Amino acid sequence: MIVPNSIQFWIILYATVAVVIIKFSIVMYLSVKIHKRKKEGSLAVPFMRGFMLLILCLFISRLFYMAFDFYFTTGPAQAFDQTLYANHPGVYFWQIAQFITSIGLGIITFMTDRILLNFKFKGIFAYIVLAGGIFALVYPVNNFNDFNFVETVGILPDLGLIVTFACLVNIAVKTTGIVRRNASILIVAIVCYIIASLVVNASVINGLTTLLGIQMDVYVYLMQAILKIIGITLMAYGASRWM
């Protein structure tokens, strides 16, 4: 159990704030890079813009997640209290965050299909990602079982990145030099992001706590923050240097 205002609580809060600041900084960085590459007539601008919009959506959604984590589910005696997860109106903030995240993931999945795959799949994977986000937004969550169900279905938008991942792996295998390097950087970034997204899950935290016999919240949240910082930074680096 994480107690409000404890060392563990502040570690999680500061780690989350760090992620938010880095996301915002990277959005600004990519905006400048896109403006510069646009003047140069670079064909990479749409792909770069896709990653910028993804990170922007992740930034906005994290603000809603913070309200859910540090206000609506933190009581006087316990932080991240799972008995409060399904309470209204807090759960609405969580559902909105899920939906906004799916928008960003849908955009980068669509851009991958259109730019790297010549619209081979007609955007269908992007639509599946958005459908998962819409489901998370509108499904009535009235108890913890409902919350767990929506959280599990919420994995669907993250899986949309598999399309981008597979395409980048194909590029990395078939090319050399700078192109392979940038594709490899984005592959590592996506892997870090997916792991970070999946690790903070009520079922995962409960399972690890039972298995190891210690409260795992702080370790899992800290791991997520580190992986997200690495992943998002690599996304910006790889996208800004795309061909």
Q: Model confidence over 81-106: pLDDT tens digits?
A: 889 999 999 999 999 999 999 999 99
SS3 label, residue 42: coil
- The residue to which tokens 């990653």 are assigned: 51
pTM of the model: 0.90
Please give the structure tokens belonging to residue 171.
Answer: 């590029």
Kindly list the structural domains of the chain, giving each domain's residue range(s) and its CATH number in brackets, ordered by start: 7-240 (1.20.1070)
Percent of the chain beyond pLDDT 90?
A: 51
Please give the structure tokens belonging to residue 5.
Answer: 């205002």
Whether residue 236 contacts residue 55, with contact meaning beta carbons closer than 8 Å, is answered with yes
Q: How confident is the model at residue 243 (pLDDT cuts 50, 70, 90)?
A: low
| CA nearest neighbour of 112 among 48, 16, 24, 196 | 48
Q: How confident is the model at residue 178 (pLDDT cuts 50, 70, 90)?
A: confident
Dihedral sign of CA atoms 221, 61, 84, 139 in order? negative
Please give the structure tokens belonging to residue 134.
Answer: 């819409």
What integer is the mean pLDDT of 23-48?
89
Instruction: Give how far the C-alpha of residue 7 lies from the chain's centroid of Cα atoms, to the nearest Å.
Output: 26
Please give the structure tokens belonging to residue 164.
Answer: 């981008």
- The H or E element that residue 60 is part of is helix 45-67
pLDDT value at position 115? 86
Query: In the beta sheet, which residues pair with residue 206?
Result: none
Percent of the chain beyond pLDDT 70?
A: 99
pLDDT tens, residue by residue, 42-76: 778 888 899 999 999 999 999 999 999 999 999 88
| Amino acid of residue 199 | V
Cis peptide upstream of residue 89 (ω within 30 degrees of 0): yes
